[in-house]
Structure 1
């Protein structure tokens, strides 16, 4: 009877530890992300908060949620808005709301006035982002310092970089087949 209890206890412990391992791995991944980022930890946390607040604005507004496709990225309080909105009034309303968020220094409006892109376009954008990131990793640029955002085959590059790194990254991205435009939204150090 006791060996069965011991085996059951061991199995329960292993299962519980597997859950803990997932938490430890997730925490380590987040820590690695912050450790490789050129922003301060405080700026990183502030930017994450800004991005969450923008997502909240969109998800709680039925019109924005149902009629737009918008992505937001923040680096040191500079926000990049990309995607599609059906009209100028909606775009202006969203930008006004984003500018009210504490910590937002500047809004780079790259929202296009058009119907939201289809899933196939977004899938292609995800693939283009992966290709650009892969080529950046293979280049002389610190790829971990650059965020790559692709929207409707346009590639937006953000990060805290030197002018040389920014120019190199833009050159790499512009040579990827399928990329129609490269927009640098860098902060230079």
Structure 2
């Protein structure tokens, strides 16, 4: 029996490398979910909301817009660029129309879609802010969602007021950050 199990394991080895990223991603998401203040159901629903809103905006407007969708505790943050005010209003209405969305923060701006270098800089700023939060050890950095658009840092999360102050201070003093917008829900 032992030889049979070993043979089955060896026969399955060629298939394992393709599965590893899926398993690793699932484990990573599970770790983040376990450390999150949202329930696992809300965590998953936030991911579904992001996909639904983004897909509906893409279906309606195609490449004429650059809208990022972030959902945290059923509150949706829209950032990016749209061509005009009617489109800006429409993307907010699309987000409001997705089931379970309880609040929409429409931070989109009217203008040309941002360039790859601009988006790369925003990604760098988000990474830098999160790294500084981890380094500071003033609160659990996994409790704060950081989104950056055009140098503006948006902070979301279920958080205590002292944690919010520390997170805001860290983000505001990160080189390259133009402004910080707090979209927290407070626990105290």
Same fold (TM over 0.5): yes
User: Which residue matches 2:123?
Assistant: 126
Does residue 21 (structure 1) correspond to residue 26 (structure 2)? The answer is: no
Runs (4+) of structure 1 exceeding 4 A deviation are 8-12
SS of the residue corresponding to residue 80 of structure 2 reads strand
User: Which residue matches 1:4?
Assistant: none
Instruction: Find the structure with the greater CA-based Rg.
Output: 1
CA distance in 1, matches of 2:58, 2:149: 19
SS of the residue corresponding to residue 30 of structure 1 reads helix
SS of the residue corresponding to residue 181 of structure 2 reads strand
CA distance in 1, matches of 2:24, 2:75: 30
Q: Per-residue deviation at 1:11?
A: 5.8
Q: Per-residue deviation at 1:173?
A: 0.4
CA distance in 2, matches of 1:121, 1:31: 31
Does residue 58 (structure 1) correspond to residue 57 (structure 2)? The answer is: yes
User: Judging changes above 3 Å, is the alpha-carbon distance between structure 1 residues 113 and 22 closer, same or farther for their aligned structure 2 residues?
Assistant: closer
CA distance in 1, matches of 2:19, 2:56: 33
User: Which residue matches 1:150?
Assistant: 148
Q: Per-residue deviation at 1:12?
A: 4.2
Q: Per-residue deviation at 1:125?
A: 0.6
Q: State how 1:103-114 maps to structure 2 within 5 Å.
A: 103-114=100-111
CA distance in 1, matches of 2:179, 2:29: 31
- TM-score between the two structures when normalised by the length of structure 1: 0.89
- TM-score between the two structures when normalised by the length of structure 2: 0.90
Q: Deviations over 1:109-143 (max 9, x none)?
A: 11111111111100111111111010010111211
User: Which residue matches 2:139?
Assistant: 141
Alpha-carbon contact 2:57-2:94 (below 8 Å) kept: no
SS of the residue corresponding to residue 107 of structure 2 reads strand
RMSD value over aligned CA atoms?
1.6
Q: Of 96, 100, 110, which aligns to 1:99?
A: 96
Q: State how 1:73-88 maps to structure 2 within 5 Å.
A: 73-88=70-85
Report the count of equivalent residues: 180
CA distance in 1, matches of 2:62, 2:123: 21
Q: Deviations over 1:82-109 (max 9, x none)?
A: 1111110001111111111110111011
User: Which residue matches 2:3?
Assistant: none
Structure 1's unaligned 5+ residue stretches are 1-7
Q: Per-residue deviation at 1:33?
A: 1.7
